Amino acid sequence: MIRLASRQNAEVIYTSLVMKRQIDKRAIIVVEGTTDERVFYRFFGDEKVRYEITYNKEKVIDVVNFANRDSFCGLFGIIDCDYDFILNMCKNIPNLLYTDSHDIITMIFYSNAFDLFLREYGYDPEILKINPNVLITLLNIVMPLGIYRLLIEQNKSSIQVQIKNAKIEDFLDFNNFSFKIEEFINNTLIPNNDEGINTISIMKKINENLKNTSVDIWHICKGHDLIVVLSQFLILKIGNNRKGKKLDNDLTEAALRAYYEMNFFISTKLFKSIVDWNLKNRDYLFINNIE
């Protein structure tokens, strides 16, 4: 069951879990959001697992730390990698697991689930002749935006933005298969003359990063950004008239998530980490056939 925890601090969440342990002996997976819960529920169900949604990455970390402090058994957390891998900020905390790439949605895009989804909702032979690799096209569109987000994360003290209300779809150019990143920056960046932060300086850094072949696109691009671009791509370009052109962002994510099968997930580092955890916590065994 999904519970609204957005107004609860981590200690309150943890205390509630401890109290409920007296009557609920299931393993506990602490996650950031509803998308994570829906994905893991499909694979593990809720007979032997319960899910605690914190709606915040730092709260997941704090809850895990509280559990480790008290030797509270049968609990682990899963968080999005976001930019932690790129910034060398991954935390080595017992019972805390990371997604393989930026987030759980990028993991789904990386799998064969995307090909199955595209065959159903976006198959258009004429368009595919022009752009045979739709996924690469989507990633290239989102990449500048991902780098912009990374720069914001790297320079929190100097780069100030108003990005929350900016609609990504308003800055898409599917005639050139691109994202109007400079226009997006102009609409979201709060100039800082003291730090020399402006659209020109940001664009220079973005272009430098785009030329860097060592940059991992799967850690740069954000899953939600890909969903928005894919949704618009289906509506405006490659969606078949029967299904694809009727999708919005939420329906696109739900449909894509539905194609993410267990046989795709078991090949990931995250699944292997979950198996390792389960083998070390056999009193809370919930994965079948791992003996």
pLDDT at 78 over 90: yes
**Tens digit of each residue's pLDDT (9 = 90 or more) over 28-62:** 999 999 999 999 999 999 999 999 999 999 999 99
pLDDT of 89 over the 70 cut: yes
Give me 110's structure tokens. Answer: 């990386």
Say if domain 10-100+268-284 classifies as CATH 3.40.190: no
Residue 234: pLDDT band (50, 70, 90) is: confident
Please report where in the chains the tokens 């999708």 appear, as a residue.
247
- Across residues 145-149, what is the average pLDDT? 97
Helix, strand, coil percentages in the chain from 3-state DSSP, rounded to 5: 55, 10, 35
Nearest to 233 by CA among 179, 193, 152: 179
Provide the CA 262 distance to its chain's centre, in angstroms: 18
DSSP states of 42-90: HHH-SSSEEEEE-SSHHHHHHHHHHHHHTT--SEEEEE--TTTTTTT--
Q: Which two tokens stand for residue 219?
A: 């850690």
Domain ranges for the chain, please list them: 10-100+268-284, 106-261
pLDDT for 114 equals: 93
C-alpha span between 65 and 251 (Å, rounded): 35
Per-residue pLDDT tens digits for 197-219: 999 999 999 999 999 888 899 99
